[in-house]
Structures are given as C-alpha cells and as structure tokens.
Structure 1
Amino acid sequence: MLHGETVGSDKVVGLLGEELTIADLPPPHTSRWVAQRKAEVVAAVNGGLLSVREACDRYHLSLEELGSWQRMVKLEGVSGLRASRVQHYRKGHEAKGANTQV
C-alpha cells in the first residue's frame, strides 16, 4: 500500500534526519536515481510534502515503482534503495515470504 495520500506540510524530516522542503527535492526531470534521491522522494511522500500522485507525475514514476521504494525503505532502510542491492533484498524477502505461507 502506498503511503502519503494527504498533503499539507511545507517541510518534513528526511530519512537521514535532515529537513526537506520542495526546493530540496530532486529536480522534476531527474533521470539518474541514486538511493539518496529516492529516499528524499519517499520521505516527501510519507511526510505529506507531496502526494503519491504528485510524486508520480513530477518524477514520471509508476505507482508500482514508488511503492517499491517505500517498501524497500521500510524493510531495509536507505541502503535497500541502491540499485545494486535491490535484487538481493527482493530475493531474500520473497524467500522469507514463501517460508511463511501455508
């Protein structure tokens, strides 16, 4: 489930403890998504600075992509957003899920 449907905050606390405003977010036409930039977008959505729709429109993201960023932050923290680690973490969590299903 995607978090951040309500908007209203002018600034939020980022995942690393820094204060974020709209001006601090990655530019709208960002094409190189490093973990820090993804984390800033997730924090903005989760903190109400951007709605899910605004984030998807601003950054040309699908709901699935933004949702996967939110899940990885929740499960693994900012390091889970690194492209080199995504498959590793996904496989590990899928295996855990497979072991818990009846």
Structure 2
Amino acid sequence: MLNVDNQIVHEVIGPLGERLTLDKLPDPGTSRWVARRKAEVVAAVEGGLLSKPQACARYELSLEELVSWQRTVERDGMSGLCASKVQQNRQRHERLNRRQTA
C-alpha cells in the first residue's frame, strides 16, 4: 500500500512499539480476537500497511467492526478493546454524550 508520499509501506509501529510487517500481523484465520491482535490490525490500517478493504477481506470483518476498533483505540487505547471493558466503556461514553447534549 502507498502512504501519503506515494511510497510503499512495508512496516508500521505496532501498539506495543514493535515493528509490524504483513508477516507479523495476526493470521488471516484468527478466530480469537484479543485486544493486542485487534490493536495490531488497527495500527496496520492507520499506518498504511493495509487498507480498510484489505483488512476486512483478510480477517473477514465488517467495515463497521473495523471502524469500531479504530474508534475504541482512539478513545480508550488498546485496553478499551478488551472484551470485559467494551460494555463498560460504551456505557461511560453514552453517559458523557448525554450530558454534553443536555
């Protein structure tokens, strides 16, 4: 994939500071999505290693699911992707949004 300077991206920095290449990304057949793996896919998309359509096809994700991972990482960091935190964070953000609109 090309970055904004029209150069091919071969690696990006992952969520834990490691270098990610296509070979180091989660396997395409991944069925158990822990927070680290989700964050790696988000980093690959945001860094230009994969496009959104490529990531969705490779991991059999809907665009909505991928975008929700991106939004969660932006808002709550990698820990927000933990299954135990998803509902808790959603409720907290819904309360904050209601207060802002009231």
TM-score, normalization: structure 1?
0.91
Determine which structure has more spread, i.e. the larger CA radius of gyration.
Answer: 2
* Counterparts in 2 of 1:9 and 1:58: CA distance versus 1, 3 Å: same
Aligned residues: 98
Aligned: 1:15 with 2:4 = no
1:60-75 mapped onto 2 (5 Å cutoff):
60-75=60-75
- Shift >3 Å, 4+ stretches: 5-8
SS in 2 for 1:85: helix
Question: How far, CA to CA, are the matches of 1:70 and 1:88 in structure 2?
Answer: 17
Shift of 1:64: 0.8
Equivalent position of 1:51 in the other structure: 51
1:83-102 mapped onto 2 (5 Å cutoff):
83-102=83-102
Aligned: 1:82 with 2:60 = no
Show CA shifts across 1:52-94 (max 9, x none). Answer: 0000000010111001100110111110000111000011011
* Counterparts in 2 of 1:65 and 1:36: CA distance versus 1, 3 Å: same
Name the amino acid aligned to 1:94: E
Name the amino acid aligned to 2:51: S
Q: Which runs of 5+ in 1 are unaligned?
A: none
TM-score, normalization: structure 2?
0.91
Question: How far, CA to CA, are the matches of 2:91 and 2:9 in structure 1?
Answer: 36
Question: How far, CA to CA, are the matches of 2:62 and 2:94 in structure 1?
Answer: 21
SS in 2 for 1:54: helix
Question: How far, CA to CA, are the matches of 1:53 and 1:62 in structure 2?
Answer: 9
Show CA shifts across 1:18-60 (max 9, x none). Answer: 1100001000010000001001000000000000000000001
